[in-house]
């Protein structure tokens, strides 16, 4: 069934974040269901790492400022090395 | 700034580049010119030089491509990823790829090719992404960049010079006068160098000049050279005076009728404040120099040919001031640009001269050049 608007937006954001963290912050590809996990999850830590690197407020949460920066065009080289 | 793992760099200073194909968004000469200009950005701050070849394998191969294009990182259509590039090395390394699903433009109405190329070529030379939003090497494209005033940030310059060093100085190059109001980058060994302000900070000495400062540790011979804005973005350039209250781990910075307080690289909240709250009369429009006497817990403020004494414990001006500088600091003045304390001596700067003053003996013990601390 088609998702309603709000649910679709949220799902799109989750996809964006997952791919963003995988592509630029070396998040393991099998880190699923990341949005529902506790603060200690590797995904939350990656979000915090990304927020710190991009000069955003470090919350570990996907606030609107964070999503806004992630939607901006950028260079494809990962931000952090292995 | 960051470099790639293993710090790959080019082992030669002359590099070749080739524009393998062109986008249809721009005339060819506009692409050529954007790439040339982007290379020049890095050429100006390093010993590196670039020449273009039109066939064969160049160190830096520049291509426009869409979606899958023969490497491990496919492009993704319009928006999101604009380009990518590889660190120095043979083969694909050093190469820069631009997503031709973007709308490449000369201005910022679309995606500006020069800005993206300058960033990607930074990768081609060995710089990873910077976490400084003002840096060219910050990963997110900034469409509000002022192209007419484009310049590398201090972070970019420090980064690339950590890999290749600064450009070689040529004694044959005449110093060109500029009509711009922007001050020239000061040369530390210029015999006519004068300084705006000098202060200690956590055991180091900071020498301020226009938009820059030299940071000198007593453990190292060569001072570092930085933009003031790269450490304290809200501080003014061309400051008048600075002094450190070591017991409070605070440096006060003065410009005109205002002053700021910094602790390390943080400007303290509640500043700038007006200098008159310190007890100066309204006739004082600026402070020339200031120094904190650790022994007496007093700060001396020098204004024209007079000085005031401020009690840091009472947080008030001592009565009986101002006094003539020459009366209590014989041999100094009548006017000073900057002053700081080291090894129990006060070092007064005036124009290109520096006086070492012994506050106990109350006499000048040495006359030096203003840049005597810079290992010229």
pLDDT of residue B182: 44
Q: Does A73 contact B4 at a Cβ distance shorter than 8 Å?
A: no
A54 to chain B: which residues are within 8 Å by CB? Answer: 131, 133, 139-140
B298 and B318 Cβ atoms separated by less than 8 Å: yes
Question: Tens of pLDDT along A15-66?
Answer: 888 899 999 998 887 655 555 545 567 889 999 999 999 999 999 988 999 9
CA distances from B191 to B167, B182, B328, B353 (A): 21, 21, 29, 9
Cα–Cα–Cα angle for B164, B73, B32, rounded to 5 degrees: 55
Q: Determine contact: A19 vs chain B, CB below 8 A.
A: no
Instruction: State the nearest Cα–Cα gap between A50 and chain B, in angstroms.
Output: 10
Mean pLDDT score, B331-335: 88
pLDDT greater at residue B218 or residue B16: B16
Q: Does A52 contact B111 at a Cβ distance shorter than 8 Å?
A: no
Name which of A55, A75, A79 is nearest B84 (Cβ-Cβ): A75
Please give the share of chain B, as a percent, with pLDDT higher than 70: 95
Q: Determine contact: B5 vs chain A, CB below 8 A.
A: yes
Q: Determine contact: B82 vs chain A, CB below 8 A.
A: yes
Question: Tens of pLDDT along B215-260?
Answer: 998 777 788 888 888 788 778 889 999 999 998 999 999 999 999 9
Tell me the pLDDT band of B184, cut-offs 50, 70 and 90: low
Instruction: State the nearest Cα–Cα gap between A2 and chain B, in angstroms.
Output: 25
pLDDT of residue B149: 80
Q: Does B75 contact A76 at a Cβ distance shorter than 8 Å?
A: yes
Q: Which of B110-124, B174-188, B263-277, B336-350 has the lowest mean pLDDT?
A: B174-188
Look at residue B48 and tell me whether its pLDDT is greater than 90: yes
Tokens of B70: 């023969």
pLDDT of residue B169: 65
pLDDT of residue B50: 94
Which three-class secondary structure state does DSSP give residue B197? strand
Partners of B358 in the beta sheet?
A: B363
B129 to chain A: which residues are within 8 Å by CB? Answer: 53, 75, 77, 79
Number of A/B CB contacts below 8 angstroms equals: 60
Question: Closest by alpha carbon to B124, among B92, B156, B85?
Answer: B85
Q: Determine contact: B40 vs chain A, CB below 8 A.
A: no
Question: Tens of pLDDT along B114-162?
Answer: 999 999 999 999 999 999 999 999 999 998 888 888 889 989 998 998 8
**Any idea which residue has 């806004």 for tokens?**
A68
pLDDT of residue B180: 40
| Chain mean pLDDT for chain B | 91
Q: Determine contact: B134 vs chain A, CB below 8 A.
A: no
A69 to chain B: which residues are within 8 Å by CB? Answer: 140
Query: H helices of chain B, where?
Result: 28-43, 113-125, 154-164, 228-231, 325-328
Chain A contacts in chain B segment 88-107 (CB below 8 A): 102
Query: Within 13 A of B164's CA, how many CA atoms are on the CB side?
Result: 26
CB atoms within 10 A of CB B259: 22
Binning chain B into helix, strand and coil, the percentages to the nearest 5 are 15, 30, 50
pLDDT of residue B267: 85
């Amino acid at each position: 069934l088609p998702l309603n608007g709000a649910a679709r937006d949220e799902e799109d954001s989750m996809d964006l974040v997952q791919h963003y963290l995988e592509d630029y912050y070396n998040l393991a590809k099998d880190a699923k269901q990341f949005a529902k996990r506790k603060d200690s999850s590797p995904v939350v830590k990656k979000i915090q790492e990304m927020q710190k690197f991009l000069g955003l407020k470090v919350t570990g949460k996907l606030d609107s400022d964070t999503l806004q920066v992630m939607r901006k065009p950028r260079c494809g080289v990962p931000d952090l090395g292995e | 700034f960051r470099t790639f793992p293993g710090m790959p760099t080019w082992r030669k200073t002359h590099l070749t580049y080739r524009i393998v194909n062109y986008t249809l968004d721009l005339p060819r000469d506009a692409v050529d010119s954007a790439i040339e200009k982007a290379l020049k950005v890095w050429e100006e701050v390093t010993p590196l030089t670039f020449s273009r070849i039109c066939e064969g394998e160049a160190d830096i191969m520049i291509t426009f491509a869409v979606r899958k294009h023969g490497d491990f990182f496919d492009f993704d259509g319009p928006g999101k990823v604009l380009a990518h590039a590889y660190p120095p090395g043979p083969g694909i390394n050093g190469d820069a790829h631009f997503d031709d699903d973007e709308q490449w433009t000369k201005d910022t109405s679309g995606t500006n090719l020069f800005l993206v190329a300058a960033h990607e070529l930074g990768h081609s030379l060995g710089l990873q992404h910077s976490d400084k939003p003002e840096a060219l090497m910050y990963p997110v494209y900034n469409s509000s960049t002022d192209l007419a005033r484009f310049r590398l940030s201090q972070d970019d310059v420090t980064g690339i010079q950590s890999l290749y060093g600064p450009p070689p100085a040529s004694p044959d190059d005449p110093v060109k006068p500029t009509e711009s109001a922007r001050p020239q980058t000061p040369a530390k060994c210029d015999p006519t160098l004068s300084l705006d302000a000098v202060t200690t900070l956590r055991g180091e000495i900071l020498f301020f000049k226009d938009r820059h400062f030299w940071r000198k540790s007593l453990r190292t011979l060569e001072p570092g050279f930085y933009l003031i804005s790269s450490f304290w973005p809200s501080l003014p350039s061309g400051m008048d005076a600075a002094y450190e209250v070591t017991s409070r781990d605070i440096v006060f910075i003065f410009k005109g009728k205002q002053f700021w307080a910094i602790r390390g690289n943080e400007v303290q909240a509640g500043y700038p404040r007006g200098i008159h709250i310190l007890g100066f009369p309204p006739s004082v429009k600026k402070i020339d120099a200031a120094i904190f006497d650790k022994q007496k817990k007093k700060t001396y403020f020098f204004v024209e040919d007079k000085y005031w004494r401020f009690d840091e414990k009472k947080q008030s001006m001592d009565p009986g001031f101002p006094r003539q500088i020459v009366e209590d600091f014989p041999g100094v003045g009548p006017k000073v640009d900057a002053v700081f304390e080291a090894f129990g001596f006060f070092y007064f700067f005036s124009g290109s001269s520096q006086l070492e003053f012994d506050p106990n003996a109350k006499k000048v013990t040495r006359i030096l050049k203003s840049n005597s601390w810079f290992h010229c």
